Structure 1
Amino acid sequence: MASIVPRPKKSGEITYQVKWREDGDWQTENFGGDDGQAQAEQFRKLVEAHGNKWPYGWVRGRGFVEPDENPDDAPLIDYAKRYVDRLTGVDIRTREDYHREIRLHFTHLVHTRADGLEVPATICNVTQDDVTDWVRREQEGQQDPADSTLWVRKKADPKSIANRHGLLYCVFQAAVDATPQLRTKNPCKKTRLPRQDDHVDEDMTFLERDEYARIATEIKDPDARDLADFLVGTGMRWSEASALKVKDLALQADRPTVSVQRAWKRAKVGSPEAFFLGPPKTRKARRLVALSPAQVETCRRLVTGQGPEAFVFRAAMGGPWRHSNFYHRKWQPAVQAAIAAGLPKRPRLHDLRHTHVAWLIAANIPLPAIQARLGHESIQTTVDRYGHLIRALDDEITAAVEAVMAVPAPRAGLRAV
């Protein structure tokens, strides 16, 4: 139920505030002037008639405004592009990725009017139902009408849908927070997204120690072998390990470490250089990674005679390794040769990071320590991605349950003396 709360001002004027809960959040609208109380009472009845929701077509602080008469309304695509262009704290490549999502996926979001007619989406006319319909279309994809074996738009996986929905949410929230306000609520707020665990995850491949050894044996270039060993031995991302410089190493310390301070980033499309050095992926990705004695010896061998700005891992010409070069010329041929020799898996280069985690979990290393070593921003990321591998404590858990269940429960009717 909506209520009216009089709010006197210092000037003696009284503002009447209509107040109600919508989806658990307080909503308010204010009315002033000589007929403020009457207007507030009329609006209260409208809110209740709409099921304690904002009346359709009402813009907070302005009253009823038809979408096509709203001078501040704009096509969703145009508004989303302006929102992304004004973002701060994002690199050029991220901004380009956002624009690509808008161009390829937001264009499929349309507004369905009450009469069933679909019209282009604007920042003001999109409803929660429109967003739900868009999510479903993303999930189902679109087949080619002329050939059912082809796709006009492929099905999107749950994670991709969640990422796109997150961007859409931010765009609409900007409209809610705008001055003047363009919307009273965010249509993405109550969207039910596809579960991200309702499918078989075939993205990650975990290698046993002997399986990695099969691949490593097939990497004939010793410099490439050093880098592969370092990746699987530290769990670093490719962009981090290949960007390490001599000055990042602390090999003489009691506990030798390497400092992750930078990573390779994709440059803007059309730039002379495809990659540039920038900050790591997240704030917590700036970290110290402990090195084993074998890794220390490898690093010492690689940096002897090199200046502080030299890269630790260098390709044949002395410059840093490029992912495509390493992957196509070193990693992929080694994997193919290992498969021909009986390897039952086809790991990607990034699976060396997953493999590192699997080895740590098998050694009973706690997840918070793994989170810090990997540079995950949240422990939830570590748990969601690798928690299913934790089986080392199964015996202790079942023993604890057995011990509790084995104690006889007190019988009813007995009294302590």
Structure 2
Amino acid sequence: MASIWARRKSDGSQSFTVRWRNPQTRKQEAISFATSTEAETLKRLLDANDQSFAIAQHAMVKNQTKAPSVSAVIQEHIDLLVRPSVGTVHTYQTMLDLHIANVIGHIPVDKLDYRHLTYWIKAMQKKGRSPKTIRNNHGLIFAAMETAIMLGYRTDNPCRGVQLPTGEKAEDEARFLTHSEFGLILECMGERYKAFTEFLVMTGTRFGEATAASVADVDLMSKPATIRINKAWKRGAGSQYYIGATKTGAGKRTVSLNPQLVDVLIPLVASRQGSELLFSTPKGERIMHGLFWRHYWLPAVKAAQSQGLKKTPRVHDLRHTHASWLIQDGVSLFIVSRRLGHASTRTTEQVYGHLMPQALQDSADAVERSAVIWREWRVGSA
């Protein structure tokens, strides 16, 4: 990587020397600038282009413009967000600082094009970033470029049409458990979190929603008994967690509770303050996903596998399992969507539509009718 060496001259001014190793000759080269900004720009360009000074120099000359840089525009976009949560601002700021600024952040916003974005994607892939991380960061750049258009910095959005990694991997697919498979895991689950695990699969709530639910959210006297899902744990600045809004507006919902789950919850709400967490650690604190997975979920799954379980489900797969049980029992996608708190039934259909038994049968019957018509036509034309 290139480096910068600052030196104070005899007249009191400073110079900034950028040093790098020529990739062709393998010899060290250097050039000095009067400002640290110019030096930092060259250093970023050298590091982003395999220490090629020719490419870096061309980019510096080409990019001489009065337009703000990509980093400046993304920062302005973040600052202009209306009523963002602390966690959202922190996430976007981390994306900019960690994944964008040092690669394409120096480019004037009116010069950003398809080639820059493609290079950025390849650089992210080279660093081992997941397709999901790349898509999320691209989403931030895309939104910032829309802001740039509104502010008059450029007339089009260069992110449109850029090909993104699909991230379609078999291991990323939803895993569905049968009733007996879940039963094996529940039997092997530590006693402390059996009720919590059963709650996840019986309600389909997200982990952050379930662990943020309070005793006051449960109404065991209504017919049927219900729980109000209206908050979730969020990560703010400094990775501190706080209770905030659900993932989407549709996430605020009332979920009915089946009688078996009611029996499980009665001891958890009896004689407890409404403000207390419904599920918590022995010290009454938030259940942390990583610790639950490592110390309870993973051991339970491994124990179940020793007894015949063939799958390796994630904690989130309890939510998928809940949806699959409902759909296989004939519950409509609309109702499942509302119960899961999806913003659109399209999301529910994309993940679970293939599980609908009647839809599968109807499709097969329709194809068979077409086949019969086609065969009759062939016989008639012979």
- TM category (shorter chain) comes to 0.7 to 0.9
Q: Deviations over 1:193-250 (max 9, x none)?
A: 34454x43534322221111111111232x4100000001111011111111122122
Out of 308, 313, 326, the position equivalent to 2:274 is 308
The 8 Å contact of residues 65 and 108 in structure 2, kept in 1 or not, is answered as no
- Measured against aligned partners, the alpha-carbon deviations of 1:155-214 in whole angstroms (never above 9, x if no partner) come to 532x33322221101111211111xx21121211232334454x4353432222111111
Partner of 1:156: 130
The question of whether the paired residues in 2 share the 8 Å contact of 1:362 and 1:392 is answered with no
- Map of 2:24 onto structure 1: none
Q: Which of 85, 91, 104 lines up with 2:79 in the alignment?
A: 85
Question: How far apart are 1:84 and its partner, in Å?
Answer: 1.6
The answer on 1:331 being equivalent to 2:317 is no
Contact conserved, 1:240 with 1:262, CA < 8 A, in 2?
Answer: yes
Aligned residue pair count:
318
Contact 2:130 2:167 in 1 (8 A): no
1:11-410 superposed matches below 5 A: 68-70=64-66, 73-107=67-101, 109-110=103-104, 120-138=106-124, 141-142=125-126, 153-157=127-131, 159-178=132-151, 181-195=152-166, 197=168, 199-221=169-191, 223-269=192-238, 274-403=240-369, 406=372
Cα distance per residue 1:30-58 (max 9 Å; x no partner): xxxxxxxxxxxxxxxxxxxxxxxxxxxxx
1:1-20 equivalent positions in 2, closer than 5 A: none
> Is the Cα contact below 8 Å between 1:261 and 1:286 reproduced in 2?
yes
Distance 1:190 1:182 in 2: 20
Which has the larger share of strand?
1
TM-score of the superposition, structure 2-length normalised? 0.75
Ranges in structure 2 where 5+ consecutive residues have no aligned partner: 1-61
Aligned equivalents of 1:110, 1:82: Cα separation in 2: 16
Q: 1:322 to 1:194 in 2, by over 3 A?
A: closer
Aligned counterparts of 2:166 and 2:332: Cα–Cα separation in 1: 27
Going from structure 1 to structure 2, the CA distance change for 1:363 and 1:122 (only over 3 Å counts) comes to same
| Structure 2 residue matching 1:259: 3-state secondary structure | strand
Deviations 1:331-365 (A, max 9, x none): 22212222233322222211111111222222222
Amino acid across the alignment from 1:167: L
**Distance in 2 (alpha carbons) for counterparts of 1:400 and 1:189:** 38
Distance 1:164-1:228 versus aligned 2 partners, 3 A rule: same
Larger CA Rg, structure 1 vs 2: 1
Cα 1:339–1:406, aligned 2, differ >3 Å: closer, same or farther?
closer
Residues 363-415 of structure 1: CA deviation (Å, up to 9, x unaligned) = 22221211111101122222222233334433333334445665777x99xxx
Q: Secondary structure at the match of 1:124?
A: helix
- Contact 2:195/2:265 (8 A) holds in 1: no
Amino acid of the residue matched to residue 130 of structure 2?
A: A
Query: Does structure 2 retain, via aligned residues, the 8 Å contact 1:67–1:125?
Result: yes
Distance 1:356 1:315 in 2: 24
Query: 2:288 & 2:133 partners in 1: Cα distance?
Result: 27
Does structure 1 retain, via aligned residues, the 8 Å contact 2:70–2:104?
Answer: no
Cα 1:405–1:327 shift into 2, 3 Å: closer
2:64 aligned counterpart, secondary structure: helix
Task: Note the alpha carbon deviations across 1:134-157, whole angstroms, 9 max, x for none.
Answer: 33444xx22xxxxxxxxxx01532
SS in 2 for 1:185: coil
